[in-house]
Chains A and B, each alone.
Chain A
């Protein structure tokens, strides 16, 4: 047994920027020649359908969706979303094929805080409209970069929700 001497305590909050939404859309649809904003507003019936398909609440009415085209041919969609956990905020994008199957998931950025910042109402407020209506689920989704395991439950729930939205809105409309 020897004492570990190289010890240092560092930051209380950290963030990683993996890619921008624009980089993600080109990574997912490299062959695309055009992207069109086809953002959706779910009606009550659609929200119910999404919940039935995904097993999680549709959460928001409005969703930011881009459609990727090569000439006139629809290649698929990209939906952007954010999930908030107890200590982390994860922004991600889901690429979907025209048949609403998931093509690719990319984490855009990740932000974590364990310090006073997260307890600060003003800081939290900026994410309020991004939070699931069901609220936070404490103790279930603690983030870590090096150490204990980070649960990606919120992201996987989010991907399932987005796949259901695509199924309800785009597949049925095609």
Chain B
């Protein structure tokens, strides 16, 4: 059984097989919608919006789920020496990639992930005014939540694809990525099972690059090749596509820590110069 709904700013496609597939898919969409409500930059009552409206120095209670995603992000920020950073809301808004959050105070100029403290009991505290955006990882996290729920419903196999960030289990199947030079054509990544794939590409960017801010240079990154990361889970795969783009020199070590691999597809008419990292 295969279903699709508009969620997370894209079309989310869920396929599952087995006796309880229909119930499991319905529950999985429900959970993805919940993650969307918690982590959307646009929704006024999301955890992200509540953090962005928070006053520095005052603890804010958030959901366990958002806390978990922030923990993951903080670890990756440390590993990447701050190149990956969720406190890039200000830059995203300046670039016109996100709207100014409603009722939020102006963020301080020089902020980083270190100005967001994670406290016990699913609380956070801003040390300086800042705006976060979880756009780089929340989609992958939502896919992981859906996959876990589908497993709990004991479906035989499943595939969740949120606009190119996907995770699957069950029999191995061919997974493809787009050829950046020829968007209609697909390039096979081979037969994959029990893993996640996320892709990041500037191939469709016209007026602006896709949404990636280089924290070090405080600018949006331009990109003309496609990068896919294969990892055990989708949040890692999603986030690591950004790591590979932002800090190629450290990427190999970080990929190894997450048991992930990166595949590059350069933007060439023939797309023959593909290489695998790690």
Give the interface of A toward B (CB within 8 A): 1-4, 6-13, 16, 18-19, 87, 90, 92, 105-107, 110, 113-115, 139, 142, 144-152, 155-156, 159
Please tell me the size bucket of the interface on B.
35 or more
Contact indicator A19/B3 (Cβ below 8 Å): yes
Closest 7 CB pairs of A and B: A114-B184, A147-B178, A107-B4, A152-B6, A12-B184, A149-B163, A139-B206
What residues of A have a CB within 8 angstroms of the CB of B274 in the complex?
A: 3-4, 7
Contact indicator B164/A147 (Cβ below 8 Å): yes
Contact indicator B11/A110 (Cβ below 8 Å): yes
Q: Besides the contacts A3-B275, A4-B189, A8-B187, what 10 more A-B pairs have beta carbons closer than 8 Å?
A: A4-B263, A7-B274, A9-B179, A10-B176, A11-B186, A87-B184, A144-B183, A147-B178, A148-B204, A151-B10
B112 CB within 8 Å of chain A: no
What residues of A have a CB within 8 angstroms of the CB of B201 in the complex?
A: 147-148
The smallest C-beta distance from A47 to any residue of chain B, in angstroms, reads 24
Contact indicator B204/A106 (Cβ below 8 Å): no
B182 CB within 8 Å of chain A: yes
Interface string of B252-278 (1 = CB under 8 A from A): 000000000001000000000011110
Contact indicator B6/A142 (Cβ below 8 Å): no
What residues of A have a CB within 8 angstroms of the CB of B157 in the complex?
A: none
What residues of A have a CB within 8 angstroms of the CB of B183 in the complex?
A: 87, 114, 142, 144, 147
B27 CB within 8 Å of chain A: no
Contact indicator A147/B226 (Cβ below 8 Å): yes
Q: Which of A7, A8, A9, A159 contacts B6 (CB 8 A)?
A: A159
B57 CB within 8 Å of chain A: no
Contact indicator A4/B276 (Cβ below 8 Å): yes
- Asked, given contacts A146-B176, A146-B177, whether A152 binds B185 with beta carbons under 8 Å apart, the answer is no
- Asked, given contacts A9-B187, A150-B10, A156-B6, whether A139 binds B207 with beta carbons under 8 Å apart, the answer is yes
Q: Which chain A residue has the least Cβ–Cβ distance from B228?
A: A147
A1-B183 Cα distance, complex, nearest whole Å: 25
B75 CB within 8 Å of chain A: no
Contact indicator A106/B275 (Cβ below 8 Å): no
Residue from B5, B11, B188, B276 whose CB has the most chain A CB atoms within 10 Å: B11
Contact indicator B276/A2 (Cβ below 8 Å): yes
What residues of B have a CB within 8 angstroms of the CB of A113 in the complex?
A: 184
What residues of A have a CB within 8 angstroms of the CB of B182 in the complex?
A: 9, 114
| A–B Cβ pairs within 8 angstroms, 19 of them | A4-B275, A6-B189, A9-B185, A11-B184, A12-B184, A16-B4, A106-B4, A107-B11, A113-B184, A114-B182, A115-B184, A144-B163, A145-B164, A146-B161, A146-B176, A146-B197, A147-B164, A148-B203, A152-B6
